[in-house]
Structure 1
Amino acid sequence: MKNEVTNSIHKDLKINLEKLKDEFSNVFDFKSRTIIFNNKPLCIAFIDTISNKDFINENIIRVLINIKKGHILTDLPVSNITTTPNLDEIKSALTNGSTILLIDGSNEAFIIETVEFEVRASNEPDNEKIVTGSHDGFVENLSKNISFLRNRIRSADFKIEIIRVGDPGTNVGVLYIENIVNKDILQNVKGRIESIQLENNLTPGKLEELIEDNSFSPFPQLLETERPDRVVANLYDGKIALLVEGSPSSAIVPASFFMFFQSPDDYNGRMLIGSFLRLIRLFSFFLCICLPAIYIAIVSFSYEVLPYQLVTTIRNSIEYVPFPPIIEALIMQLTLELLREASIRLPSPIAQTIGIVGGLVIGTAIVEANLVSNTMTVVIAITAVASFVVPVHEMSFSLRLVSFPMIILASIYGFVGIIFGLTVIMIHLVKLESFGTPYFSPFAPIRLKDMKDTLIRVPFWKMKTRPTNALPTDTVQSKGTKGWKDEN
């Protein structure tokens, strides 16, 4: 009871102002102004740096001074006014950019939404560039990101729920299409988000780790994207999008393994081209995790599988290298990761220089010093290119991470170790789930209808049903016929 009294505002305006000034002491951008309205003192309080000062001056202060008497709820030309007697709600509203009106003699405060955060221009995400199609991307403002999606989904079935997480709270948007999404999965997602107890700011990385099924898996179970068109496509497949305030990325759930190898370019171009590119990306999965391991297995155990001329070339390449192949591979892989991290952290002009220096100078020097063979350099270079082909950064990094244990297994057991490693990876992928749905669908379990958009993409007029890994309530998305053919 005492706590309720403490959190309630007082009828005395001076006491309420003192409470607010105590709460926002040493906060330079906390502003307040007192005017006379209805023959009583009225205080207007807001945070200067995140509130729209022009709107406050024109639509609140100037109007109240001019009319002098009236009712706040009916006479102010603003669209959103709420009331509250709770001091904690007032503090939360102020820190979110709202303006507070406190009237002497009233134990309720008026909250007017006047937030105005700086929003950068929408640009195409650097890590998800495409050739044809939309070239805009999400920004750090939740309302702006929702507007990007609203422009593409103009339907009353497009639902947006806001869940406040943590203390101080961070808004998380849960977006879905009501007549398609599976309600059980939706409740599961919302329940996991609502159960988060965090005493600092929430970020997409923290959100992913707190709600995913298996945090120790090397494979991501939420698809992170900064592209609105990609989010829209997945929403129409019955999936759920999560937007975190202050982040330009969206998390899509539930996710499947093959979603990470799909790109908007697959659908913006012709079917044969999209299918070919997707097969290349899936082939890069095996190249990335297996190529260094296969090279080590051949050199260390099974050189007889190669033609004699190639064996001679490889033998001449490694003749003066003092290290076993596993050490060569680890040196090159770690050097590549160092160069990649350096290029990300440095400004763009310097990063390009580092890439050239790393690729030419260091690569040439390390070979001429006989620390690594020419053949191993080629193998690691192909592996690096294969990892960059994957359109989602998180999956790309996961594949590079998985390649290290494969290298170790190949150096100990040769091809037997590679087969064992691939078997463990496949077992893990088959067992893995994303919000209760099979991660390796449609191959485990086998769903023949869903394979039309997995390894390859069939023509759009053949895609009569939605993928079933998200268990959509409405599986029919098209009649699958060409209208102009029906007319004939």
Structure 2
Amino acid sequence: MILTEGANMSSFYKKNRRKPKQLLSEKEEVIFEPLTLDEKVSYFQEGLFHTDDLKIRNVTFNAKRMTILFLDSVIDNRSLQTYIIQPLLEKEAGTIQDTVSSNSVNETLQLEEALSVMVDGHCIILQEGSEWITFISMPKIPSNRNEPINEKVIRGSHQGFSENISENIHLIRERISSPKLTVKYSSVGETTRTKYSLVYLSDLTDMDIVKTIEERISYIDSDSIQSPGYFEEFLEDNSFSPFPQFLNTERPDRVAGNLMEGRVALVMEGSPTVLIFPVNFFSFFQTSEDYNNRAFIGSFIRFIRLISFIATLCLPAFYIAVISYNYEIIPVEIIFSIKSSLEYVPFPPLIEAAIMQLTLELLREAAIRLPNPIAQTIGVVGGLVIGTAVVEANLVSNTMVIVVAITAISSFVIPSNELSTSVRVLGFPLMIAAALFGVLGIVIGLMLLLIHMFNLKSMGHHYLYPVAPLDIKGLKDTFIRLPVWLMKKRPKDLKTVYRWKTSDSRGWEKNEDTD
């Protein structure tokens, strides 16, 4: 069989191919007519899942229709207009190679090949009556590649998003160079008309998630949307929960990793922060650097973060409970040391802890608002001066200063700023419970917190997955991180179209064993 468009066409090609001109015999080959220009354009539209960053320009060249297709997010539009579209409009005759101003003009008969290079920064030129497909490289170069201030890493990519939505989509497409990556643009806010886009993999993501997000956004009736925080409050399942239900990041590699898991990203014009949903509680303890280090190191660091979460939440409350009620928990020698430091302190442990915690929050807020050089001075000098002064004035004990310092350091270890802030706030009710009921109060407070988390959802998905509901295989990337080659499937709760991420990626070991 002779196919002028290539031997391995997609289902689209098979559906749209025309009937044979002549049926010679069962054994003889059949010749199919080539696709028309409109059919080829439809092939690219369907192959790119009707993504909104696909742009189509029609011109007349050699007295025939010509169509130029390109992805707006990966193409340098100024170069395209200057070196390709403008010369074609002005000359109107000749060959494409002689007309356009580019050294990277290539041709192919394969629609699949043209589709695959399109996402790499090539524009596609289709001409009526010609079977050849011309593609020209016109990649976009982002104006700036700043490292995210809030998500720095030692090992790995140092790229960060900007405040331009097109550049941010380009950074994501650089990470996932697939025609299946779909971008859907829209706007919200009656007055501001804020532009945003939903990004997902059409062949992987559960479309029920996309429909849920689009439905919730359609209910937004506000005259102004100024930041992704507005979207969070309008879309989250429980607006009064202390826990963040959407993950926000400024890192393209982190967005790409979550998209490959089957999640959806929301990119907004004017903000370098991208929202990711749905997520679970353990997503807030994961960073890009976890996967850049070996599994043993990544697991150790992740375990440290979970310990820091518990310390930030419970350590001040535990200190209050021990001092007020439960002396028997700690050794006698330590009790005498603590009691001696409390001898001249006029306040009960709850007031003592509250003073130090609030002072720490004041220093933290001051450091954020001031310029960097002054902020560092405030953090170091302010902490030392205030800490020393309150101890010498017998307003707080030495032990309390140590407890608050450990709590502060632990809160800095938590990767998500939203979760870190939430945990610090939740520490105050636990301190009150500890002052009233001792360790029993802490246990009751934690039980109420767990009940709330069990019932909490993110875009309809369980917040504590894979712990509740329990999924043993899903625990491979939670408290610890197993090697990548052992994490063969995507999370079950996301209901992706296909779950397998990798199969036998270390098959070479079997070959070495047989040698």
- TM above 0.5, yes or no, is yes
Counterpart residue number, 1:283: 307
Which amino acid counterpart does residue 273 of structure 2 have in structure 1? Answer: S
**Other structure's SS at 1:478 match:** coil
Question: Given the alignment, which residue of 207, 217, 221 partners 1:197?
Answer: 221
Alignment of 1:79-228 (within 5 A): 121-167=144-190, 168-228=192-252
What is the CA RMSD across the aligned residues, in angstroms? 2.1
Equivalent-residue separation in structure 2 for 1:434 and 1:135 (angstroms): 29
Q: TM-score, normalised by structure 1?
A: 0.75
CA distance in 2 between partners of 1:459 and 1:380 (Å): 36
Q: Deviations over 1:330-363 (max 9, x none)?
A: 1011000100000000001110110112221111
Secondary structure at the counterpart of residue 220 of structure 2:
coil
The alpha carbon displacement at 1:193 in A equals 1.4
**Residues 369-406 of structure 1 deviation map (CA, whole Å, 9 limit, x = unaligned):** 11111101100110111111011111111110111100
Q: Which residue of 2 aligns with 1:81?
A: none
Give the residue type in structure 2 aligned to 1:195.
Y
CA contact (8 A) 1:163 1:194 kept: no
Matches within 5 A, 1:368-387: 368-387=392-411
Q: Distance in 1 between matches of 2:150 and 2:276?
A: 17
State the Cα distance separating 1:484 from its structure 2 match: 1.7
1:449-485 CA distance string (max 9 Å, x none) = 1001111111111111011232212111110440322
Within the candidate set 477, 482, 503, 1:479 is matched to 503
Cα pair 1:256 1:469 within 8 Å, conserved = no
Residue 131 (structure 1) shift: 1.2
The gaps in structure 1 that reach 5 residues or longer are: 1-53, 68-76, 78-118
Q: How many residues align?
A: 381
For residue 441 of structure 1, give the secondary structure of its aligned residue in structure 2.
coil
1:420 to 421, 444, 455: 444
AA in 2 matched with 1:149? I
TM-score where L is the length of structure 2:
0.72
* Structure-2 change in CA distance of 1:271 and 1:199 (3 Å): same
Q: Shift in Å at residue 144 of structure 1?
A: 0.4
On the 8 A contact 1:442/1:451 being kept in 2, the answer is yes
State the SS of the aligned residue for 2:184.
Answer: strand
**Conservation of the 8 A alpha-carbon contact between 1:462 and 1:480:** no
Task: Check conservation: 1:460, 1:480, Cα contact below 8 A.
Answer: no
What letter corresponds to residue 171 of structure 2 in structure 1? F
Instruction: Identify the residue that residue 317 of structure 2 maps to in structure 1.
Output: 293
* DSSP-derived class of the 1:126 partner: coil
Please point out which of 366, 379, 400 is paired with 1:355: 379
Counting aligned pairs with the same residue, the percent is 51
Deviations 1:130-159 (A, max 9, x none): 110000100100000000011111111110
**One-letter amino acid of the counterpart of residue 156, structure 1:** P
1:435 aligns with 2:459: yes
Structure 1 runs of 4+ aligned residues shifted over 3 Å read none
Say which SS state the counterpart of residue 493 (structure 2) adopts. coil
Structure 1 residue identity aligned to 2:276: I
SS at the partner of 1:171? strand
1:346 aligns with 2:370: yes
- Paired residue secondary structure (2:175): coil
Deviations 1:78-127 (A, max 9, x none): xxxxxxxxxxxxxxxxxxxxxxxxxxxxxxxxxxxxxxxxx873221121
After TM superposition, the structure 1 = structure 2 runs for residues 240-255 of structure 1, keeping only pairs within 5 Å, are: 240-255=264-279
| Cα distance in 2 between the residues matched to 1:486 and 1:438 | 39
Partner Cα separation in structure 1 for residue 448 and residue 492 of structure 2: 26
AA partner of residue 223 (structure 1): L
Moved more, 474-483 or 167-176: 474-483
How many Å apart are 1:202 and its aligned residue? 3.3
1:282: how far off?
A: 0.7
Question: 2 CA distance for matches of 1:406 and 1:264?
Answer: 32
Q: Is residue 263–residue 391 contact of structure 1 (8 Å, CA) maintained in 2? A: yes
* One-letter amino acid matched to 2:300: F
User: Quick one: distance in 1 between partners of 2:495 and 2:313?
Assistant: 31
In structure 1, the partner of 2:417 is 393
Deviations 1:265-307 (A, max 9, x none): 1110011000000001011111111000000000000112221
- The aligned counterpart of 1:7 is none
Matched, 1:403 2:393: no
Q: Counterpart of 2:475?
A: 451
Aligned residue identity for 1:441: Y
Q: Counterparts of 1:267 and 1:440 in 2: how far apart (Å)?
A: 22
Residue of structure 2 equivalent to 1:333: 357
Aligned residue number for residue 468 of structure 1: 492
- Summarize the Cα distance change of 1:353–1:120 in structure 2 as closer, same or farther, 3 Å threshold: farther
Hey, what's the Cα distance between the residues in 2 that align with 1:481 and 1:164? 43
- Cα distance in 1 between the residues matched to 2:272 and 2:166: 11
